[in-house]
């Protein structure tokens, strides 16, 4: 039986509008059919000979149109499988460029490079299960009770004290460690304590997470932005009247700068001189790829720096596991605040993490993930070389891509067509910060799963100028 368009179960009206030429009209008509979903992913198209006969046009015109759409990624052509609509050519709405911000909807895209998440597929399930079994076997009976110490299980505080001292240079007496349900919980507790101490203003980095600024303002604190450049936050410009400063010294989020020794010293000198407090967010300090990770700022003055850490990047945010290492004079106030609103990780999860650290499994996992993320960053840098510049140190789970002037709107539109979730650097700017205009993308290369990384990277490259 003669092959026909109808034999493929896909009746389709194609408008080959006059004035564009047959080939251009056919390319646009097929592209729009795939884009809108009228040709679903996986649909097999007729051979070029059959399609040409059905349309009454030359076979070469159809073959050239197929080849162009294969090159663009709308179609695939494989020996023995024919020409089909590509899986990534799924129907999607045309979002406005301004809509490229973090939201639940963005999580539903085919590809995501949103910053802030590790590769969740890398969670060490087997090693964690082994640690959980040992922890459960050895757990004292009282671990199943309500818990009497708001600081959290002493086993985990002792394990963290050893690890943080060894790996991050933190002065970490277990009595000064308070466990919490992640970084946001820790910041909320500290904000409440600062407000009770009659602090009215907190200095923050000009670029940073708006969610963190909202936690501070929600506690009644005003945030004052500090300029941020290639050397990190300008701590030498800490304004008068602020009672604390929130910093990401090891790897500024999101610009990727490391706070220089001079600016680290300036922050500590300011705290000593004014009686202020430095809040150190060490969210991904273990992940440095070009050199040994810089030690925590807290090591310079444990009485003036409150260290905040989390397992969200090293393991998974779903553990809801964070910790504070506090100046001695702050412990009782934070413990009292936490005791009044004590929502934190379960005792068994705390005991499991303690065993995970003591057994060396945590170090092995971090080393393995460090290698994985370093490879991804290297592949990202190689893929965009000659098209955009990558700024920031070789560290963490994200990078900043500086775009040529005037190209950001087009890049965002192209990313939308690729079904790729991206965020711009401007999304993180403090509304009162005097920052120079900068067209840039914050690319979370830690977010995709191992299987999704290569197609996600290809989608990003296709969207770049």
Q: Which of 118, 116, 10, 4 is nearest to 50 (CA)?
A: 4
For residue 421, what pLDDT is reported? 95
Q: Which of 5, 329, 321, 311 is nearest to 193 (CA)?
A: 329
Compute the chain's Rg from CA coordinates: 27
**From residue 427, how far is each of 24, 205, 430, 458 by CA, in Å?**
38, 14, 9, 24
Task: With H, G, I as helix, E, B as strand and everything else as coil, classify residue 176.
Answer: helix
Instruction: Extract long-range pairs of 315-318: CB within 8 Å, 24+ residues apart.
Output: 315/118, 315/123, 315/124, 315/365, 316/118, 316/120, 316/123, 317/117, 317/118, 317/182, 318/120
For residue 13, what pLDDT is reported? 62
Task: With H, G, I as helix, E, B as strand and everything else as coil, classify residue 192.
Answer: helix
Beta-strand ranges (E) seen in 261-304 are: 277-281
For residue 6, what pLDDT is reported? 41
Integer Cα distance of 345 and 309 in angstroms: 14
DSSP track, 147-170: -S-TT--HHHHHHHHHHHHHHH--
Bridge partners of 390, per DSSP, are 401
* Residue 222: CB atoms within 10 Å: 13
For residue 94, what pLDDT is reported? 39
For residue 2, what pLDDT is reported? 41
Asked whether the beta carbons of 337 and 138 are under 8 A apart, the reply is no
Question: Which domains, and CATH codes, for the chain?
Answer: 5-85 (1.10.10.10), 97-122+364-463 (3.90.1150.10), 125-359 (3.40.640.10)
**Which residues of the chain, if any, have pLDDT below 70?**
1-20, 71, 88-108, 341-343
For residue 20, what pLDDT is reported? 55
In the chain, % of residues over pLDDT 90: 71
* Residue 91: CB atoms within 10 Å: 13
For residue 342, what pLDDT is reported? 67
Cis before 157? omega within 30: no
- Token pair belonging to 83: 């020409």
pTM for the full model? Answer: 0.77
């Amino acid at each position: 039986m003669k092959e026909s368009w109808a034999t493929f179960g896909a009746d389709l009206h194609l408008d080959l509008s006059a004035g564009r030429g047959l080939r251009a009209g056919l390319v646009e008509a097929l592209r729009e059919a795939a884009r809108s979903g009228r040709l679903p992913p996986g649909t097999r198209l007729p051979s070029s000979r059959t399609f040409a006969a059905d349309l009454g046009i030359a076979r070469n015109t159809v073959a050239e149109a197929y080849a162009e759409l294969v090159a663009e990624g709308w179609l695939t052509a494989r020996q023995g499988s024919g020409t089909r609509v590509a899986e990534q050519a799924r129907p999607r709405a045309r979002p406005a460029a301004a809509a490229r911000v973090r939201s639940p909807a963005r999580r539903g895209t085919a590809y995501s490079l949103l910053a802030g998440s590790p590769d969740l597929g890398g969670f060490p399930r087997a090693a964690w299960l082994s640690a959980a079994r040992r922890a459960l076997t050895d757990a004292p009976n009282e671990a199943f009770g309500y818990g009497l110490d708001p600081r959290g299980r002493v086993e985990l505080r002792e394990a963290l004290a050893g690890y943080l001292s060894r790996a991050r240079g933190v002065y970490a007496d277990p009595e000064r460690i308070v466990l919490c349900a992640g970084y946001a919980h820790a910041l909320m507790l500290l904000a409440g304590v600062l407000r009770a101490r009659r602090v009215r203003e907190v200095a923050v980095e000009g670029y940073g997470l708006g969610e963190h600024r909202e936690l501070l303002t929600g506690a009644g604190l005003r945030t004052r932005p500090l300029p941020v450049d290639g050397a990190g936050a300008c701590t030498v410009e800490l304004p008068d009247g602020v009672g604390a400063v929130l910093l990401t010294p090891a790897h500024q989020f999101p610009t990727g700068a490391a706070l220089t020794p001079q600016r680290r010293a300036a922050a500590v000198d300011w705290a000593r001189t004014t009686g202020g407090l430095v809040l150190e967010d060490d969210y991904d300090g273990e992940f440095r790829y070009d050199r040994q990770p810089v030690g925590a700022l807290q090591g310079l003055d444990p009485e003036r720096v409150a260290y905040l850490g989390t397992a969200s990047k090293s393991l998974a945010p779903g553990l809801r596991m964070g910790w504070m290492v506090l100046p001695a004079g702050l412990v009782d106030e934070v413990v009292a605040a936490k005791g009044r609103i004590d929502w934190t990780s379960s005792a068994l999860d705390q005991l499991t993490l303690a065993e995970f650290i003591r057994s060396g499994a945590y170090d092995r996992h971090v080393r393995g993930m460090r290698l994985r993320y370093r490879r991804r960053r290297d592949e990202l840098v190689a893929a965009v070389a000659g098209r955009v510049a990558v700024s920031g140190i070789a560290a963490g789970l994200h990078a900043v891509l500086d775009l040529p002037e005037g190209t950001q709107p087009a890049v965002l539109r192209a990313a939308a067509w690729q079904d790729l979730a991206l965020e711009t650097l401007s999304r993180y700017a403090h509304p009162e910060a005097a920052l120079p205009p900068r067209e840039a993308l914050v690319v979370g290369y830690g977010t995709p799963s191992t299987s999704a990384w290569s197609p996600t990277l290809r989608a990003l490259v296709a969207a770049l100028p």
